[in-house]
Amino acid sequence: MPDTTRLSVRNIRKSFGHHEVLRGISLEARDGDVISVLGPSGSGKSTFLRCINLLEMPDDGEVLVDGELIRMMKSGAHSRPASQKQVDHIRAELGMVFQSFNLWSHMTILQNVIEGPVHVLKRPRAECVEEAQALLKKVGIADKANAYPAHLSGGQQQRAAIARALAMKPKVMLFDEPTSALDPELVGEVLRVMRALAEEGMTMLVVTHEMGFARNVSNRVVFMRDGLVDSSGTPHEMFGEGASPSFRQFIGHFAGGN
Ligand code: ADP
Ligand code: MG
């Protein structure tokens, strides 16, 4: 049987000074998995995502993307990637969407979307433009191709950021609270795009506080607390009777929400 593991994270540890933020986190995503990562503020969720795409260097542990181990070198208490070339190649396989959109403000939406495929993947520009237009249509902002980010609403900017990530044809999409910076009335349009991606079979790791998404769209829920995986399971398990007391307490804060 072919190995369909797209992302494998093993025993990641990360400290900032004396503060151990990740204390040995492991997670596997198979093809088409949509994993919601939930947890209180400060539990290490962003650091975890940043360690996966090496925006932060884990002190210890392993990350494999589509079966390829990111090679690390120890230097004292810390480690660093053994090959920058491999890091660039792995990063291109991981689409990242941030809370704050992070579009390039001096470029139009279309330019934002084709930047990676043209300059990193060195693909023909005309082909990239055509694909970018299709992606913008898919996320519902085809008419914004020539606009600058500042002229878009937050929801439109986040959908553009998703299109930009997809333009690299990533193997896994990482989302860090993609709707947390949005006005409430704009959250739905972004969640709809994410749901459509999930239904197409994209492998996704989503840090979110949207309990509706975690329950109804993801097939697995991971609850992080104090730099560790407290518990994980299917939404049915996690939101059902058998959930860990700390997870129950956590979701209690969201009761009455979506
Ligand atoms: P979450 O995303 O779950 O809210 P974070 O991963 O952002 O948590 O942060 C976890 C902890 O790590 C917090 O205490 C935060 O202050 C600390 N932290 C995160 N990034 C850094 C950094 N670059 N330097 C020092 N401390 C950091
Ligand atoms: Mg965070």
pLDDT tens track for 191-246: 999 999 999 999 999 999 999 999 999 999 999 999 999 999 999 999 988 889 99
pLDDT value at position 1?
Answer: 63
Residue 80 Cα to ligand 2 midpoint, Å, equals: 23
Asked if 219 contacts 206 with a C-beta cutoff of 8 angstroms, the reply is no
Alpha helix (H) residue ranges in the chain = 45-52, 84-93, 109-115, 125-138, 154-166, 184-199, 211-216, 235-238, 245-252
Q: pTM for the full model? A: 0.95
d(CA 207, CA 9): 16
Nearest atom within ligand 1 for CA of residue 47: 6
Pick from 13, 15, 16, 43 the residue to mutate for probing ligand 1's pocket: most ligand atoms within 8 Å of its CB.
Answer: 16
pLDDT value at position 3?
Answer: 74
Q: Helix or strand or coil: residue 56? A: coil
Degrees to nearest 5, angle at CA 67 with 64 and 70 = 35
Residue entry with tokens 């491999």: 86
Asked if 10 contacts 214 with a C-beta cutoff of 8 angstroms, the reply is no
Q: How does DSSP assign 153-221, residue by residue?
A: -HHHHHHHHHHHHHTT--SEEEEESTTTTS-HHHHHHHHHHHHHHHHTT--EEEE---HHHHHHT-SEE
d(CA 101, CA 147): 15
Pick from 14, 46, 228 the residue to mutate for probing ligand 1's pocket: most ligand atoms within 8 Å of its CB.
Answer: 46
Residue 118 Cα to ligand 1 midpoint, Å, equals: 33
pLDDT value at position 255?
Answer: 63
pLDDT value at position 258?
Answer: 44
Q: Which ligand is closest in space to the CA of residue 21?
A: 1
Q: Which ligand is closest in space to the CA of residue 41?
A: 1
Tens of each residue's pLDDT in the chain, 258 residues = 667 999 999 999 999 999 999 999 999 999 999 999 999 999 999 999 999 999 999 999 999 999 999 988 887 777 888 899 999 889 999 999 999 999 999 999 999 999 999 999 999 999 999 999 999 999 999 999 999 999 999 999 999 999 999 999 999 999 999 999 999 999 999 999 999 999 999 999 999 999 999 999 999 999 999 999 999 999 999 998 888 999 999 998 776 544
The closest residue, in CA terms, to atom 24 on ligand 1 is 16
**Residues paired with residue 11 on neighbouring β-strands, in sequence order:** none
Residue entry with tokens 């913008």: 136
d(CA 35, CA 227): 17
